[in-house]
């Protein structure tokens, strides 16, 4: 029986290569997954997920594995950074696919509710619903409903000779409702014009120079969902600010843990990350020029954690601090 399960087919090639390399290191070391978990401080369940391509290992786990297997950590972390970017791109593609599916479902539902669109078969070229061509009334004949509208007679069942039922009735109701809405908008505009200021005020308003067009906000990259203050308190991974849009700008060692300040210029934010920590350790990020409160994260069984984001103008404003369950405390150097 093979030791490793087949990696998921949908896995990004870069992530697949990285997971394969991790398996080779474990095989070369001769250690079981349980032994790797015991020596690195990350749980056996987590390593099973990392090695089977179900979850990307955190950087702390990769550094720990390099130490256990006698591998150069620089080369391994370089591969990890490339895999992290590929993993983020895969998550963005998944989010965009799900969004497209939801939009398609919504359009289908609206199409079922509204029936045939106006201007469909029979809606162009002067034809009535059902394909009958509208003819002008005979001289002296009583006026009937406008062309293209069903008569006001009670509708009959679908397929009967009645011309007012089924989809035609729904279309008429929609058109009448739209017409009433347009009339109400016009009436409101006239009323507001009549109720405007005095003639002098109106003249001043007319003579005043037009306002300069405002510059629209820059378009964000695909997958990025917030920027600056809108990101404060949000998860950097869920908001698309991590991966290829983030970098580590400051690092500090607190006890046995590694504390990092992660910064995203695209989103204008920073957050803190702690690795090689113990369950219960906490990490906090604060902006020395910001008005918002600090954001905190707590380490779980995976031995790492990160905080929500805070808005910063520059990475030098951010400071990350860690408090370990052993009582040891430490911070990165703000302004570095």
State pLDDT tens for residues 125-181.
444 444 444 444 454 444 454 444 444 444 544 444 444 445 555 665 666 676 666
From CA 218, how far away is CA 270, in angstroms rounded? 20
Token pair for 37: 């978990």
- What's the pLDDT at 81? 92
- What's the pLDDT at 163? 47
- What's the pLDDT at 217? 56
CATH topology of domain 13-95: 434 Repressor (Amino-terminal Domain) (1.10.260)
Burial of 55 (0-12, 13-18, 19+ CB in 10 A): middle
| pLDDT (tens digit per residue) in 260-285 | 899 999 999 999 989 888 899 999 99
- What's the pLDDT at 32? 92
How many angstroms from the chain centroid is the CA of residue 198? 49
Is 80 exceeded by the pLDDT of residue 113? no
The residue to which tokens 């707590």 are assigned: 298
- What's the pLDDT at 53? 87
| pLDDT (tens digit per residue) in 197-223 | 444 444 444 454 444 444 455 688 988
Is 60 exceeded by the pLDDT of residue 29? yes
From CA 132, how far away is CA 14, in angstroms rounded? 62
């Amino acid at each position: 029986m093979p030791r490793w399960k087949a990696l998921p087919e949908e896995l990004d090639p870069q992530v697949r290569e990285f997971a394969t390399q991790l398996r080779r290191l474990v095989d070369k070391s001769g250690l079981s997954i349980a032994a790797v978990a015991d020596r690195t401080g990350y749980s056996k369940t987590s390593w099973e997920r990392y090695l089977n391509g179900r979850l990307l290992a955190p950087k702390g786990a990769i550094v720990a594995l390099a130490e256990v297997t006698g591998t150069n950590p620089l080369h391994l972390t370089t591969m990890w950074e490339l895999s992290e970017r590929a993993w983020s791109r895969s998550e963005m593609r998944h989010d965009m696919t799900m969004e497209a599916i939801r939009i398609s479902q919504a359009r289908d539902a609206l199409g079922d509710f509204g029936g045939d669109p106006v201007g469909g078969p029979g809606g162009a070229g002067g034809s009535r619903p059902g394909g009958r061509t509208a003819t002008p009334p005979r001289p002296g004949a009583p006026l009937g409903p406008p062309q293209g509208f069903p008569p006001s007679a009670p509708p009959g069942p679908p397929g009967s000779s009645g011309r007012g039922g089924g989809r035609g009735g729904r279309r008429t109701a929609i058109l009448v409702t739209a017409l009433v809405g347009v009339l109400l908008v016009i009436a409101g505009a006239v009323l507001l014009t009549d109720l405007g200021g005095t003639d002098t005020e109106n003249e001043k308003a007319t003579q005043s120079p037009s306002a300069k067009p405002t510059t629209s906000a820059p378009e964000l990259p695909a997958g990025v969902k917030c920027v600056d203050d809108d990101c404060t308190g949000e998860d950097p991974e869920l908001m698309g600010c991590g991966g290829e849009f983030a970098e580590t700008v400051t690092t500090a060692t607190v006890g046995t843990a590694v504390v990092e300040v992660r910064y995203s210029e695209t989103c204008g934010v920073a957050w803190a990350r702690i690795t090689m920590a113990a369950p219960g350790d906490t990490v906090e990020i604060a902006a020395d020029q910001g008005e918002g409160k600090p954001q905190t994260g707590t380490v779980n069984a995976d031995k790492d954690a990160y905080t929500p984001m805070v808005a910063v103008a520059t990475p030098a404003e951010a400071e990350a601090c860690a408090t370990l369950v052993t009582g040891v405390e430490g911070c990165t150097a703000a302004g570095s």
